[in-house]
Structure 1
Amino acid sequence: DVRDKGDEALFHYAKKLDAAIFTRWRSHDNLPDPS
């Protein structure tokens, strides 16, 4: 089923995006406080 394949690709993309956002948030969280 083409739709299932699309959903799977979307799921992997969402997971990758989520991981990227989490990594960015973690690195931002670990930055020294500028104030």
Structure 2
Amino acid sequence: MTQRILITLGAVLIVIGLLWPTLGKLGLGKLP
């Protein structure tokens, strides 16, 4: 179960990393 949680967190971080530039263009990614 721990591995599943780690995999899920990793996938979420990857998705956020990919979407961050788009959010920045929309003015929603002003966080550092």
CA RMSD, aligned part only?
A: 1.6
Q: Which runs of 5+ in 2 are unaligned?
A: 28-32
Distance (whole Å) between structure 2 residues aligned to residue 30 and residue 20 of structure 1: 17
Between the aligned residues of both structures, percent identity stands at 4
Distance (whole Å) between structure 2 residues aligned to residue 20 and residue 33 of structure 1: 22
- Normalising by structure 1, we get a TM-score of 0.59
Q: After TM superposition, give the deviation of residue 34 of structure 1 in Å.
A: 4.2
Aligned length: 26
Q: Are 1:25 and 2:16 matched, yes or no?
A: yes
Residue 6 (structure 1) aligns with: none
Greater RCO between the two (CA within 8 Å, min separation 6)?
2
Q: Are 1:16 and 2:16 matched, yes or no?
A: no
